[in-house]
Chains A and B, each alone.
Chain A
Amino acid sequence: MRIGIVCPYSMDVPGGVQFHVRDLAETLIAMGHEVSVLAPADDDQPLPPYVVAAGRAVPVPYNGSVARLNFGPISAARTRRWLHQGDFDVLHVHEPLTPSLSLLAVMSARGPVVATFHTAMTRSRALAAGAPVARVVLERITGRIAVSELARRVQVEHLDGGAVEIPNGVSVAHFADAEPLPGWPGECRPGYGGTVGFLGRFTEPRKGFDILARALAEVMPRRPGLRLLLAGPGDLDEVDLPPVVAERTTFLGKVSEEDKARMLRSVDLYIAPNTGGESFGMILTEAMAAGAPVVATDLDAFRRVLDGGRAGALFPNGDAASLGEAVTALLDDGERRRELAEHAERVVAAYDWPVVAARVLEVYNSAIEALGETVSGADPPAQW
C-alpha cells in the first residue's frame, strides 16, 4: 500500500507525536508498505530517507506551549506537490485541527483520509473558533483514530463523531533487550536495598514527583540501601528534596531514547505518581516492555493500561503514605514483582508496534473501501 503520513511538528524536536509518526512509519515500511512522511524541516537538515521536508517550521505559541508549525503559501504548495507526486492510496494526518501541515494536507487532498488525534484537549483554538470551521475539516476525514479513551471521548462529545481507539505503540524489543546500566539495579532483599525509578519532568506538579519524594522520605530511613534512579529534563535544584532522599538519588538528567530503555531495565520498581492530565501513559507501556514492575496512581488511564491492577500495583491519587507502603511491600516480595512483570509482559504485547500498525492498516483499508477511491491531490485551489 502507498501511504502518505503528515506530521505537524518538526521531526528533530523530540515529542510524543513525532516519535509516534517515526515508529509507525518504520513499522509499516518493515511490513513492506511504501511510506512517505511530510514534516516541517529545513532542506539542509539530515532526515530519514522516508521524510520529505515541507520547509522551515515557525515557532508559534499554541495551547500553552511553543509548537513549531508551518502554515503558509510555500508549505501549501509543497504539500500539494507531495500529494500529487506521492499518488497515495491513503493519507494519514496527525492532529489535523492544529493550524499546521496536517490541516493543509486535509484541505488539499481528496479521497480516503485517516486522522489520528493524540491530545485530549477540550479547549483547542479550532474548537473555540467554532464548529463550522472544524466541520469543513472533519467532513474530509474518513476515519478517525484516538490514541486514548480520553481523546476518543473528546471526539464524541465535542467533535460530533466516532473514533476508533488504537493506543500508542511501543517497540517492545527495544526496551526488553536493553542492557541495564552498570551496577544497577543492585541488591534487593527483604528489608534491604532495591532501586525505584522515575522518569519525566519532575518539576511539573502533575507528574507527582513530590509525592514519590515524600513517600521515599518515609521509607528510606527504615530501609537501608534503597536508591532512587531519576531521569528527566530539569534541574535538581528546582525541587525541594528531603536530605535522606537527595543523598540516595542518582540523577541522570535528560536521557536519550537508548538510555531511557537502559534506565528502565535498571530498576526494581518503576513509579508513576502522576496526579492527572495523563490521557494514555506511554511511560507505563515502556516500563512494562522493559520488564520493570510498575506502581502507579489509580488514574483511569493508568488502570486501563495496567489491566485493572493485575499488570502493576495501583495506589490512591496523591497518597504518599500508601505509595510508601506499596513500595515497601513489593520490594520485600520478589515473587510478587515477578508475577506483575510476567502479566505486564503479556499485556504489553498488545501495544507492540507491529500489532498496533496492523490495526491502523485495518482503518486504512476500511477508509479506502468506504470511499471506493484513492487519494488525489488536486482539489481546485482553495475556494474556501
Chain B
Amino acid sequence: MPGMGWVIGVVAVVVVIASYVTWTAGRVDRLHLRAASAGRALDSQLVRRAAAAAVLAETELAGDPAGADLYAAARAALDAREDDREASENDLTRMLRKQALDPQEPNGAAVIAASRRVALARQMHTDLVRAALGARERPLVRLLRLNRKHTRPAYFDIDDPTLSVG
C-alpha cells in the first residue's frame, strides 16, 4: 500500500510541529512569568534599600542637612508613582553616592549591602526581560499569537546602584 508511507510521514510531521509549538508556548509562558517574578523581587529590594537609607539618615546623619536630604530622597523613592519610580530611585542613588559610607558601621553596611542586592536584582530582571522580549519577537510566536496572554514586559531603567566603598 503506497498510501501508508504518506500517512505515516504526514502524521510524523504534524507531531513534530505540534511538539515544537507546545515547547515554544511553554517557553514563552515561562519567560514571561520569570520576568514578572524578577520584577517583584527587584521591587522588594528597592524598598529595602530605601528603608535602609531612611534608617541611616535618621541615625548616623541625624541633625545633618545631608541626612534630611537623604531622608527626603528615601521617602520619595518609597512613595513614587510607577511613572516616576525610575527617576526617584536614581535620585536616591545620587544621594547615597554623596555619603562617605563606613562599611564597619551597621547602618552604613546595611545600605551598602542593600545597594548590591538592588544591582543583582536589577541585572537578573534585565536579563529575564530581554529573554522574554526576544521570545515574543519570534515569527512563530507572533504568527500564532502565543504571547497574547501576557503583557509586554518592560525594562526597569536605572543607573547602576553599586556604591564604591573605602
Q: Is B52 an interface residue (CB 8 A)?
A: no
Scan residues 24-64 of chain A and give those whose CB is less than 8 A from a CB of chain B.
none
Rounded to whole angstroms, the CA-CA distance of A143 and B20 in the bound complex is 27
Q: Which of A139, A362, A371 contacts B131 (CB 8 A)?
A: A139
**A371 near B123 (CB under 8 angstroms)?**
no
**Total contacting residues, chain B, CB less than 8 A:** 29
Contacts of A135 in B (CB 8 A): 131, 134
Interface string of B42-56 (1 = CB under 8 A from A): 101100000000000
- Which residues from chain A contact B124 at a C-beta distance below 8 Å? 142-143, 366-367, 370
A369 touches which of B31, B41, B113 (Cβ 8 Å): B41
**A372-B37, A372-B41 as given contacts; A144 in contact with B119, CB under 8 Å:** no
A-B contact count (CB 8 A): 64
Among the stretches A122-130, A159-167, A260-268, the one at the interface with B is A159-167
Do residues A369 and B44 form an inter-chain contact, with CB atoms below 8 A? yes
* Nearest neighbor of B40 in chain A, beta-carbon distance: A372
Main secondary structure of the interface of B (DSSP, over half): helix
In the complex, the answer to whether B116 meets A370 with C-beta atoms within 8 Å is: no
Instruction: Check A363 for interface membership: any CB of B closer than 8 A.
Output: yes
Interface pair A366/B130, CB less than 8 Å apart: no
- Indicate if the CB atoms of A142 and B117 lie closer than 8 Å: no
A256 at the B interface (CB under 8 A): no
Partner of A384, one of B23, B38, B125: B23
B130 touches A160 (CB 8 A): yes
Residues of B near A163 (CB, < 8 A) are 123
Contacts A164-B119, A366-B117, A366-B120 known; A142 to B128 CB distance under 8 Å? Answer: yes
With an 8 A cutoff between CB atoms, is B127 at the interface?
yes
- Option from B37, B45, B120 in Cβ contact (under 8 Å) with A363: B120
Beyond the given A135-B134, A366-B121, A370-B34, could you list 15 further A-B residue pairs with CB under 8 A, ordered by the A residue number?
A139-B27, A139-B135, A142-B34, A143-B124, A144-B127, A162-B126, A366-B117, A369-B44, A369-B45, A369-B121, A370-B37, A370-B41, A383-B20, A383-B23, A384-B23
Task: Report which B residues bind A (CB closer than 8 A).
Answer: 19-20, 23, 27, 31, 34, 37-38, 40-42, 44-45, 113, 116-117, 119-121, 123-128, 130-131, 134-135
Q: Which residues of A contact B (CB under 8 A)?
A: 135, 138-139, 142-144, 160-164, 359, 362-363, 365-367, 369-372, 383-384
